[in-house]
């Protein structure tokens, strides 16, 4: 009996030609998208990125098992946003964090305190940048207050932790007053 003979004879079992089955298996193995067309980014990876404030470095994505091609696909489908070279964010990441990373630093000082306390942000964004890095042009043109540091404060890729932000804010207010 020919592969499609059951259909010709009115049989109820529809057979998929073997070539279609191979093509389907090939797409499943090589195509990192789900049937809905979105890239496969396992929940564990999204959870890891969210635990880091929603902003991750390329090397952290590699450590989570994503290749450069997977990252490009995730960006193309909107599962990740490229903020700047080597920095990516989940789509729901707070705009204040994205702005700090786009400017080349991390949210710091009173801006970080406002973020941690969920209050309104100051008019001027405060960012922390390592002392050995020149001020990014974007930060200078945006009028950001830059906190240079020889030793990075505790925190994530996009945000210093609350204790470090409080120390920075006290020093910043003292320098502005005196």
Confidence bin at 78 (pLDDT 50/70/90): confident
- 142 burial (CB, 10 Å; 0-12 / 13-18 / 19+) is middle
User: Which residue bears the tokens 């991390």?
Assistant: 106
pLDDT in tens, 96-143: 899 999 988 899 999 999 998 888 878 888 999 888 888 777 777 778
Q: Are 66 and 74 in contact (CB under 8 A)?
A: yes
Q: Are 155 and 106 in contact (CB under 8 A)?
A: yes
Q: Residue 165 phi/psi, 5° resolution? A: -65, -40
Q: What strands, in cross-sheet order, belong to the sheet with 81-84?
A: 55-57, 87-89, 81-84
Strand pairing partners for 130? 149
- What span, in angstroms and rounded, lies between the C-alpha atoms of 69 and 21? 26
Threshold 0.85, pTM exceeds: no
pLDDT, mean of residues 52-71? 87
- What span, in angstroms and rounded, lies between the C-alpha atoms of 25 and 3? 19
User: Quick check: 35 pLDDT over 80?
Assistant: no
């Amino acid at each position: 009996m020919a592969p499609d003979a059951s259909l010709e004879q009115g049989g109820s079992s529809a057979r998929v030609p073997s070539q279609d089955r191979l093509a389907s298996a090939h797409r499943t193995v090589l195509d990192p998208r789900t049937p809905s067309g979105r890239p496969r980014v396992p929940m564990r990876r999204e959870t890891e990125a969210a635990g880091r404030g929603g902003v991750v470095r390329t090397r952290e994505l590699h450590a989570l098992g994503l290749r450069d091609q997977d990252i490009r696909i995730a960006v193309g489908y909107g599962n990740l946003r490229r903020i700047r070279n080597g920095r990516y964010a989940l789509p729901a990441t707070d705009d204040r964090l994205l702005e700090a990373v786009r400017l080349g630093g991390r949210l710091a000082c009173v801006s970080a305190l406002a973020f941690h306390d969920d209050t309104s942000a100051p008019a001027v964004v405060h960012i922390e940048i390592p002392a050995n890095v020149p001020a990014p042009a974007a930060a200078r043109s945006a009028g950001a207050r830059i906190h240079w540091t020889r030793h990075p404060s505790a925190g994530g890729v996009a945000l210093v932790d609350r204790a470090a932000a409080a120390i920075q804010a006290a020093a910043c207010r003292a320098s502005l007053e005196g």
